[in-house]
Amino acid sequence: MLKLLHVEDDPDIREIAKLSLELSGEFEVIQCESGPDALRTVEGYTPDVLLLDMMMPGMTGQETLERMRAVPHLANIPAIFMTARAQEVEHEALRAIGAAEVISKPFDPMSLPDQIKAALK
């Protein structure tokens, strides 16, 4: 079972993603509603994969990842971004900073588990 840390400020999206991932039977999902919340969570938790919303108030997904990369036990955890921004140039910029994948919103809950597994290969 893969340990996934999902960071998303929208409670509806958190709920849909959690249901989708847990129903697949392949993910243990821990959720946080902000970058600072996620940074506190990972002090005592090491996920196998990060699923980060890009646009969040206070700290973006990119800023959250940059802060996590400075923590030794998180330096090499695969990161996947979810964003409503569909421009390929923005997706390429996220891949350039180490994103394993970029998933566009709105996402398909039925294919989310497979998209994450494919990104980890």
Show the domain range for 30.
2-120
Confidence at 93, pLDDT banded by 50, 70, 90: confident
- Is there a contact between 113 and 94 (Cβ–Cβ < 8 Å)? no
Domain count, the chain: 1
Tell me: pLDDT of 52 over 80: yes
Residues 6+ apart with CB under 8 A from 9: 33, 34, 53, 56, 57
Residue 35: which of 6, 59, 4 has the closest Cα?
Answer: 59
pTM: 0.95
Does position 86 have pLDDT exceeding 80, yes or no?
A: no
The whole-chain average pLDDT of the chain stands at 94
Mean per-residue pLDDT, 42-51 = 96
| pLDDT tens-place string over residues 73-85 | 999 999 999 998 7
What is the domain-level CATH number for residue 8?
3.40.50.2300
